[in-house]
Amino acid sequence: MRHKPLREQVIVVTGASSGIGLATARMAAERGARVVLAARSRDVLDRLAEAFGARAVAVTADVGDRAQVQAVADKAIATFGGFDTWVNVAGLTVYGPLREITQDDHERLIRTNFWGTVNGSLVAAEHLRARGGALINVGSIASDLAFPFQGLYAASKHAVKGFTDTLRMELIAEGAPVSVTLVKPASIDTPLPNRARNYMDRQPTLPPPIYPPDEVARAILHAALHPQRDIFVGGGGKLFVMGKEFAPGAYDELAPAIIALQKRAEPPRDTAGALHAPVRAGEERGDPPVPVMRRSAYTRATLHPLASVGIAAGMATAAAVLLGGFGGRRRRS
In single-letter form, the type of residue at position 321 comes to V
Whole-angstrom Cα distance, residue 94 to residue 99?
A: 12
Cα four-point dihedral sign 16, 19, 25, 30: positive
Q: Does an H or E element contain 37, and which? A: strand 34-39
Q: How far is CA 194 from the centre of its chain?
A: 16
Query: For the chain, how long is the longest CA-to-CA vector?
Result: 66
Q: Which of 95, 153, 211, 251 is catalytic?
A: 153
Q: Does an H or E element contain 72, and which? A: helix 66-80
Q: Does an H or E element contain 154, and which? A: helix 151-174
95 as an active site residue: the answer is no
Residue 133: burial class (beta carbons within 10 Å; 0-12, 13-18, 19+): buried
Whole-angstrom Cα distance, residue 143 to residue 167?
A: 16
Q: How are beta strands 210-211 and 230-233 bridged, if at all?
A: unpaired
Q: How far is CA 241 from the centre of its chain?
A: 16
Catalytic residue ranges:
153
